[in-house]
Amino acid sequence: MFFIFLANFFILKFYWYSLIWYLDIIMHLLGGFWVGLFFLYIFSRKQQVYFNLNLILKIFFVSFLVGFLWELYEFYLNVVSGTIFNFNDTISDLCFDLLGSIVSILYFFKIIMSERINKVQWKNG
């Protein structure tokens, strides 16, 4: 998460969003991915998590909420700087946040959970 904030700082400082048109997409994908992984980690620390609709909806909701709060921050910056608010950009940003969270769910259950299961089997076997 710190990497994303640090990257965003330098991207804004050097105006890379203006120079590289798809950088915003990459940052929102990474943001959704890391928010999803962070909350999957938090949920898995409390109890065993299973791949189910309830968990997916929780991760979607949290990713959407964080993305929405970020878009409010961007809206505030647009108002302060006097730039025009782009509704289509906001919707696409939220969609890429959710896509990043989907990738985090798949990564968590395919890579991380399979490693945990393999370690348990290795120790017992």
pLDDT value of position 113: 76
**Whole-angstrom distance, CA of residue 92 vs CA of residue 94:** 5
pLDDT value of position 119: 59
Taking 3-state DSSP, the helix, strand and coil percentages for the chain, each rounded to the nearest 5, stand at 85, 0, 15
Please report, in tens digits, the pLDDT of each residue of the chain (125 residues total). 788 889 989 998 999 988 999 999 999 999 999 999 999 999 888 888 888 899 899 999 999 999 999 999 999 989 999 999 899 999 999 999 999 999 999 999 888 777 766 554 545 54
pLDDT value of position 86: 92
Query: Which of these, 112, 99, 114, 108, lies nearest to 52 by C-alpha position?
Result: 108
Which structure tokens are listed for 87? 């509704």
Identify whether the C-beta of residue 67 lies closer than 8 Å to the C-beta of residue 44.
no
pLDDT value of position 118: 57
pLDDT value of position 1: 77
Predicted TM-score of the model (pTM) = 0.83
Identify whether the C-beta of residue 28 lies closer than 8 Å to the C-beta of residue 93.
yes
Identify whether the C-beta of residue 64 lies closer than 8 Å to the C-beta of residue 98.
yes
Helix (H, G, I), strand (E, B) or coil at 84: coil
